[in-house]
Amino acid sequence: MDINNTLENNINNAFDIERGLNNVVNKNNNNNKNNNNKNNNNKCFHHNCNEIISICSTCKNMPVCLECIVNKDFHQGHIFEKITSELLTPIIKQFNDEIKPKFNQYLNSNSETIETSKTKFSEIEQNYKDNLDLITKEIRKIHLIIQSFEKDLNQQLKTTHDENTNTFSGVISKLNKDGDTITSIISETNDYNNNNNNNNNNNNNNNNNNNNNNNNNKNNNGIDINMGYYISILKNNYLAKMVMSNLNENGEIELLPMYDNPEISINRNSNETIKSSLNSIFKIENNPQSVNPSSERIVFNLKFQKKEKVSNISSPTKK
């Protein structure tokens, strides 16, 4: 039993020693933190590696370091005071009597201002989204007007092109038809000449048969069978004169088509006019308000007039 009690006492003493060492370590850590805070309190606002050595009277008794005093971007040329108890006494009194009592009031107001700012900024964000939607919708309307204008111009061009295509097709068809007509007449004429030559060669051999041939040259109705050839000559003569009437004195065909050849006139300087017109339609105005701080609003001056037919396409000449 004595051995057990002794062992238990030794264990308890060891725990007590450990707790004592932990308290010492924690105390040292706290002291180090306090020393660090004290050291940081002595550092300059702007140059945290420099110690505060003076007060700038020009800047409402602002603590400054050597860098502040000599740097022209900070306090160079200002009036400085040495840090003394006489100088600090009124400053400390002002801090305790006037500044410190307002801390809670400031913190409360600070929280309220943060919440108000969040609410107002939420309104600004919504206004921003609404403005984007509004711009998109109105610009889309302008796109539709431009697309309609483009469609109108394209339709005018297409109508003229369709007319030119029909003219071209008609002329080519007539020229092909006339060419076929002349080719057919030439073929018929050649056939007749060949037959006529053959008949002349056989005339001497057929003298004794003239009476019979004359009788046979007529069909049962008493009509000369060569009359068909004569009528063919009459028809071909008429057709040939109609076709050949398209030739001028130089032997050139004058059946050239009269095409409409549109020309598009574009005023490049009008781009600035369009920009100016858009600026007169859309305007972003700043509208700062403390109660309702929607910082921007969009004003539209929409006066679109769609004409029945608008075109810069001209067709000055026929070619």
CA angle 275, 280, 283 (to 5 degrees): 105
pTM equals 0.48
Distance CA 231, CA 2 (A): 162
Distance CA 43, CA 201 (A): 140
**What does DSSP say about strands 296-300 and 282-286: parallel, antiparallel, or unpaired?**
antiparallel
Print pLDDT tens along the chain (319 aa). 454 455 455 545 545 555 555 565 555 555 555 555 555 678 998 898 999 999 998 998 899 999 999 988 899 899 999 888 888 899 899 889 998 999 899 999 999 999 999 999 999 999 999 999 999 999 999 999 999 999 999 999 999 999 999 989 988 898 899 889 888 888 888 777 666 555 555 544 554 444 444 444 444 454 455 777 788 888 888 888 888 887 877 777 776 777 888 888 878 777 788 888 888 888 787 776 554 444 455 555 544 333 333 344 444 444 4
